[in-house]
Amino acid sequence: MEQAQAIQAVPTYSSLAIFGLAFGVLAWTALPVAGMLMASMWLYNFIALPLTGSFIALICGLTAQRQIRRANGALLGAGLAKAARLLAYTQVALLVLIATFVVLQVVVLKNHATRW
């Protein structure tokens, strides 16, 4: 009689990790360009589109890492989820830095213009 062999499930990559990484890359490449092209409709598209992509990447990355941890080896993609989070955090930090710079410039120019 033949002995039954245990079939092991092959671990797959987390769809959320892949999706999050895709949006993280889009937040740095295509979404700022699309925001610049659409800035004629609404000026804040330049900031809103990359920020939206970053938040999607961040939420997907965090959720994917939680799912991967709970799957006990059945899901792969922890590095992809971490990369998505890193791209999202740096994009948000850059946009906050740009917004701070713009606000400071407006305040400085307003104060400078009222002195003359």
- pLDDT, one tens digit per residue, over 34-51 is 988 887 777 678 888 999
Q: CA-CA distance, 85 to 58, in Å (whole number)?
A: 5
Q: Where are the domains positioned within the chain? A: 12-115
Contacts of 87 (CB under 8 A, 6+ apart): 21, 24, 25, 27, 28, 54, 57
Task: Record the pTM.
Answer: 0.81
- pLDDT of 26 higher than 90: yes
Give the residue from 58, 52, 16 showing the smallest Cα distance to 32.
52
pLDDT at 22 over 90: yes
- Residue in the block written with tokens 């941890």: 69
